Amino acid sequence: FEKATQAYPGALSAHWGLAKARFNQGRHQDAIEPLRRVTSAVPNAPEPHYMLAVCYDRLGRRADAYASYRNALAAGLSGDERARAESRVQSLAPAE
C-alpha cells in the first residue's frame, strides 16, 4: 500500500488500505496521516473517523479522539463500534 500511495497519491483506496494495515499492526501514529486523508475526502464515512479516533485515543490525544469519535457518530457509525464510541465520548468529554 505504501508504494501505491506514492505512485497514486490521489487514490483513496490505497490510503485506506495503508491506514488499515498500519492500524492492524498497532502502528497508530503511522495510521493517522492516511486516515486524515480519507476522512477529509470522504467526510460522511464513519469507519475512517472511528479508526482515527481509536488511534488518537491509544496515543493519549484526548481532544482529537473526542472530536473524531463525535465525527464517526455523526457520520452514522453503527453496531458495536457505535456503542464503544458513545462510551468514549462520555469519558472524554471536556469538563464544563
Helices (H), ranges, 25-92: 28-41, 46-58, 62-74, 79-92
Single-letter amino acid, residue 77: L
The rounded radius of gyration (Å) of the Cα atoms in the chain is 13
pLDDT for res 7: 46
pLDDT for res 95: 80
Contact 46, 33 (CB under 8 A): no
Closest CA to 1 of 42, 35, 40: 35
C-alpha cell at 43: 467526510
**Average pLDDT for runs of 10 along the chain of length 96:** 52 85 97 95 96 98 98 98 98 87
Give CA–CA dist 2/91, Å, rounded. 35
pLDDT for res 73: 98
Q: What is the pTM of this model?
A: 0.89
| Number of residues that this document lists for the chain | 96
pLDDT for res 2: 57
